[in-house]
Structure 1
Amino acid sequence: MSEQQGEIVNKVKQSNKLVTLDLQKYFDDTPILEFDIKDYLYEGLILKEKEFRARLENHDWEQYAGKYLVVYCSSDAIISKWAYMLIAGHASSYAKDIFKGTKEDFLFELYRRKLENVNWKDYKDKFVILKGCSSKDKPVPESVYLFAAKKLVPYVKKLMYGEACSNVPVYRS
């Protein structure tokens, strides 16, 4: 059936200028485990070197094998820089990588590492939609959308958010 005979032709899909960029495809599914230093402090607030070292010695570091480790302190304790170094000394032979900060900050860092390798010039003069819905098993933090938009703006003709059928215009050159 031809277009003249009533066939519906998706001209948007046929256009090579419209590109949907799904940031979830850059998701790293390596598990991320958290290490709260607070649990290794005296009363959750005071870093006592001898006790801290002993608790680290007795910790099961093998549980981090092949996984990412995020180290943070959920209390308002003052943590010396050497404490993080001690944790790295124990975990580095097991963990795939170690990061100081929140899980969401590390998730952004993982995306950033992969997105730095994208050739953003490939999007020159294109109409780009950053896919809006992400699943819970492959979360995309808001900071990743900000990063991708920053990289795309110098090249795209138009940047949108959402889906082709319903999108929010973000930028137009």
Structure 2
Amino acid sequence: MATDTQGEIVNKVKQSDKLVTVDLQKYYDDTQRIGLDLKQFLFKGLILKEKDFREQLEEYDWEQYKDQYVCVYCSTDAILSKWAFMLVGKHLTPYAKEVFKAQPDEIIHELYTRKLESVDWSQYADKFVILKGCSDDERPVPDSVYLYATQKLIPHVKKLMYGEACSNVPVYRG
């Protein structure tokens, strides 16, 4: 902090147009993610019997997945053919926002990078950029997203830091 000519305290960090804080949480996708474990459609949770599998899929309530990201996986060691996932996808497509072959927490990186792809990273040219370090549990930012943002920022920034303006860790200086 510094004082101006009238003795008032001036926050030069806030006045600086070269210092920019980027909060990656604002790129979080709030669409609900839900998992669909295929073991419920398998004989003893392990064996895919095609006729039974198809019948169960026909009778299943797919509307419960309306406008959600659905993550299809199998929690057992069952060996499933690609067509099994395709059949599930056929049923989910009219309802789900999108279908993934993954656990729900495994798609966070993908959802972030989709939004970050549209960022004009050149807006940070010759700036001192801080990637905000604190995130809440409701909108987690995985390490992989910080890595992605770092790769996008380095060609443009004068300096890249992690944390907060008052306490940061230098990462890169161009």
Q: Mark yes or no: TM-score above 0.5.
A: yes
Q: Work out the CA distance in 2 between the residues paired with 1:105 and 1:154.
A: 28
**Considering only aligned residues, what root-mean-square deviation do their CA atoms show, in Å?**
1.3
Give 2:130's aligned amino acid: I
Structure 1 runs not aligned, ≥5 long:
none
Deviation at 1:153, TM superposition (A): 1.1
Deviation at 1:152, TM superposition (A): 0.8
Q: Percent identity among equivalent residues? A: 64
Q: 2:70, 2:104 within 8 Å by CA — same for their partners in 1?
A: no
Q: Work out the CA distance in 2 between the residues paired with 1:49 and 1:43.
A: 14
Deviation at 1:39, TM superposition (A): 2.1
Q: 2:39, 2:76 within 8 Å by CA — same for their partners in 1?
A: yes
Q: Work out the CA distance in 1 between the residues paired with 2:40 and 2:169.
A: 44
Give 1:165's aligned amino acid: C
Asked if residue 112 in structure 1 is aligned to residue 125 in structure 2, the reply is no
Specify the alignment match of 2:70 in structure 1: 69
Q: Work out the CA distance in 2 between the residues paired with 1:152 and 1:38.
A: 43
Structure 2 runs not aligned, ≥5 long:
none
TM-score (norm 1): 0.94
Deviation at 1:25, TM superposition (A): 0.8
| Number of residue-to-residue matches in the alignment | 172
Q: Work out the CA distance in 1 between the residues paired with 2:161 and 2:116.
A: 18
Asked if residue 43 in structure 1 is aligned to residue 44 in structure 2, the reply is yes
Specify the alignment match of 1:82 in structure 2: 83
Range with greater deviation from structure 2 (109-118 or 132-141):
132-141
Give 1:106's aligned amino acid: I
Specify the alignment match of 1:31 in structure 2: 32
